[in-house]
Amino acid sequence: MKRNNKAHIINYPQEKLRKREHVRFFERCLKLVPQHYSLLDSQRMTIAFFSISGLDVLNSLDIFNENQAKSIINWIYSLQVYDDEGELAGFQGSTAFNYLKERSTYKCGAIAHTYTALSTLLILGDDLSRVHRQSIVRSLRKLQRPDGNFTASLVGSESDMRFVYCAACISYILDDWSGMDIDKTVEFILNSISYDFAIGQCPETESHGGSTFCAVATLALANRLDSLSQNQRDGLIRWLLMKQGQGFHGRPNKPDDTCYSFWVVAALKILNAFEFINIEKNREYIMTTQNLITGGFAKQVDNSSDALHTYFGLCGLSLMNEKGLKKIMPSLAISLQTAERLKSIHEHWRAQ
């Protein structure tokens, strides 16, 4: 492969990043959202993560005063569920669940919301002192399936590579991997590699850019990237690079989609193959989905902006060293500054 020697030179004449509009977009997502967002009421924690982490990447967390930040932190902790057995532990996605009876079947933590809650607490400067770490770790053990996969919650739910990744993020943030049988998880990931060297949601499923990122990031967080053979690594890099049209897409013969400028490019970054992408074309695509008036990024041109695509569009731009954005940690999908704060928390825990 021929390396792109201009990979780290950012000098684009195209549309500028509308930082002010994007900050306002995230503010609206936190305060007042369109009616169709009511369908996502149970996912409020995830929307809050996209918005608050997006503001962090935009270097704009100063829109919150101290009282506002504390109020959000307290709201997140109000969603924490824990018990002595560690069967229900974690964070819920919405205050709607707080109205359930204390021992309701559905009053339990969800693995995705636990990951986004912990990340958001970190971003807002919390020290995680109120997190019931041991209870969450015990709960993780019960969410792992015999094949190494993870299910989303103890209540009947999906189980696939997305939740494997969330479990890895939780284990990394809590600095405790005893809730995951890492060898089984690695085996599950390797069994999910398809004939084209990319990775599906589970064994014998179609390769996908999102699940490939989740698998690669999990191996990186668990310090097990060496589990991939050189042949598997080379084949995977080739598959990821072939997902670039102008921007990136997640499966062959699919249109480009803003969020894959993170999922695919972050996987390439972790695999030390970022320099092979065409940065100029990727940035140009992302900018075509930018709403110049109300802010935000959309999935594709002429679509409406949403919190997910806005966040991952910004993360994709950050990976390409876009001016004015904080650098991010690709495997954890948060800013490097926040990841560095986490290291100091880990040092404090280890010293106790």
Say if 7 falls within a structural domain.
no
Q: Per the confidence metrics, is the pTM higher than 0.75? A: yes
C-alpha radius of gyration, the chain, whole number: 20
Give the integer Cα–Cα distance in Å for 320 and 139.
37
The answer to whether residue 217 is domain-embedded is yes
Question: Is 266 among the domain residues?
Answer: yes
Q: Tell me, yes or no, whether 5 lies in a domain.
A: no
**Count of domains forming the chain:** 1
Say what angle helices 260-270 and 230-241 make with each other, to 10 degrees: 150
* Within-domain flag for 1: no
Q: Is residue 80 part of a domain?
A: yes
DSSP run (H or E) holding 90: strand 90-91
Residues of the domain holding 146: 19-31+39-351
Q: Please state the separation of Cα 229 from the chain's center in Å.
A: 26
Supply the mean pLDDT for the chain.
Answer: 91
**144 vs 146: CA distance, rounded Å:** 7
Give the CATH number for residue 282.
1.50.10.20
Local confidence band at 102 (pLDDT 50, 70, 90 cut-offs): low
Contact residues for 223 (Cβ-Cβ < 8 A; gap 6+): none
With respect to residue 9, please indicate whether it lies within any of the assigned structural domains. no
What are the tokens at 209?
Answer: 């850019």
> How much is the pLDDT for 6?
39
pLDDT at 98: 64
- Per residue in 27-77, pLDDT (tens digit) is 999 988 777 777 777 789 999 999 999 999 999 999 999 999 999 999 999
pLDDT at 85: 64
